[in-house]
């Protein structure tokens, strides 16, 4: 059971956030080739779409030994769509049962949320039964909204060293999947005040970057 609403609607269903929500670090991962249609999404495991990487991203962003991070949000922007992108938000403070920690369980949880969001129109969102929030919003508009709310950092090997950057606990970190970020997106984000930071010259998976960023935020010294 779920409700559909627009963020600008007077009939919007309220989302109860914890009082300390402004101290939540967030990760935005642009999944260029991830299908929004649930059957195609699951069929893309091991294909050129490489949605299997998403399971590692979820694990490293949100899960720790014997629990999960209640102070972290993960946005997954699925862009392979016939109409609108779908952005999945997994919020550690109100995350439901995702069915397990193995790859297929996590990807199936995403597919379930995508199925429940299949009838969304642009700008609408739902909170699926498993606690995943799905919004019909593009990567560009999501970044614009987040950049207006706080500090955003784009991971890029040409950026300033992350280890020498003062990162706030509520920083937003923007990453791409195995497909490089388009240059026009760099320019757009720069105009919005998004800064670039680097974790070094070695090209890492997004999931590995997230682990390192967690470490930098928690123990900057």
Segment 41-51, tens digit of pLDDT:
999 998 888 89
Over residues 15-38, mean pLDDT: 74
Give me the pLDDT at residue 86, please.
97
What are the CA-CA distances from residue 47 to residues 42, 52, 204, 210 (Å)?
Answer: 10, 9, 20, 23
Q: Which domain holds residue 134?
A: 22-218
Give me the pLDDT at residue 24, please.
72
Least confident of 3-12, 57-66, 115-124: 3-12
pTM of the model: 0.88
* Three-state SS at 15: coil
Spatial CA neighbour of 114 closest among 35, 1, 38, 32: 38
> HSE of 24 in the Cβ direction (CA atoms, 13 Å)?
25
What are the CA-CA distances from residue 58 to residues 68, 98, 184 (Å)?
Answer: 11, 11, 27
With respect to residue 9, please indicate whether it lies within any of the assigned structural domains: no
With respect to residue 144, please indicate whether it lies within any of the assigned structural domains: yes
With respect to residue 12, please indicate whether it lies within any of the assigned structural domains: no
With respect to residue 96, please indicate whether it lies within any of the assigned structural domains: yes
d(CA 76, CA 68) in angstroms, rounded, equals 18
With respect to residue 14, please indicate whether it lies within any of the assigned structural domains: no
8 confidence band (pLDDT: 50, 70, 90): very low
Q: Is the pLDDT of residue 12 over 70?
A: no
Instruction: List the CATH number of the domain containing 70.
Output: 3.40.1280.10
d(CA 76, CA 182) in angstroms, rounded, equals 17
- Domain count of the chain? 1
Tokens 């995943």 locate to 132
Least confident of 131-135, 186-190, 196-200: 186-190
Enumerate residues 6+ apart whose C-beta is below 8 A from 7: 123, 125, 135
Give me the pLDDT at residue 15, please.
39
Q: Is the pLDDT of residue 112 over 60?
A: yes
What does the block give as tokens for 83?
């109409």
Strand 4-6 versus strand 124-127 pairing type: antiparallel
With respect to residue 16, please indicate whether it lies within any of the assigned structural domains: no
120 confidence band (pLDDT: 50, 70, 90): very high
With respect to residue 174, please indicate whether it lies within any of the assigned structural domains: yes
Give me the pLDDT at residue 132, please.
97
CB-based contact 192:150 (threshold 8 Å): no
For the segment 57-89, what is each residue's pLDDT rounded down to a tens digit?
999 999 988 889 998 999 999 999 999 999 999
Q: Which long-range contacts (CB under 8 A, 24 or more apart) does 111-116 make?
A: 111/38, 111/39, 111/41, 111/42, 112/38, 113/88, 114/36, 114/37, 114/38, 114/41, 114/78, 114/86, 114/88, 115/38, 116/2
Q: Is the pLDDT of residue 100 over 90?
A: no
What are the CA-CA distances from residue 39 to residues 63, 96, 113 (Å)?
Answer: 26, 22, 12
With respect to residue 11, please indicate whether it lies within any of the assigned structural domains: no
């Amino acid at each position: 059971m779920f409700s559909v609403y627009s963020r600008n609607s007077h009939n919007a269903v309220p989302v109860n956030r914890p009082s300390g929500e402004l101290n939540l670090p967030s990760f935005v991962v642009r999944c260029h080739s991830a299908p929004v249609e649930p059957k195609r999404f699951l069929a893309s495991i091991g294909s050129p779409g490489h949605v299997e990487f998403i399971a590692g991203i979820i694990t490293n962003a949100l899960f720790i030994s014997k629990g999960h991070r209640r102070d972290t949000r993960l946005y997954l922007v699925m862009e392979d769509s016939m109409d609108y992108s779908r952005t999945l938000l997994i919020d550690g403070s109100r995350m439901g049962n995702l069915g397990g920690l193995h790859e297929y369980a996590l990807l199936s949880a995403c597919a379930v949320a995508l199925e429940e969001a299949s009838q969304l129109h642009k700008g609408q969102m739902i909170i699926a039964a498993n606690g995943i929030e799905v919004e019909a919003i593009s990567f560009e508009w999501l970044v614009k909204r987040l950049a207006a709310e706080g500090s955003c950092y784009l991971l890029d090997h040409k950026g300033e060293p992350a280890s020498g950057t003062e990162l706030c606990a509520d920083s937003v970190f923007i990453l791409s999947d195995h497909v490089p970020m388009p240059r026009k997106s760099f320019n757009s984000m720069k105009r919005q005040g998004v800064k670039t930071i680097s974790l070094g010259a070695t090209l890492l998976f997004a999931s590995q970057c997230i682990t390192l960023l967690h470490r930098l935020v928690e123990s900057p010294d």
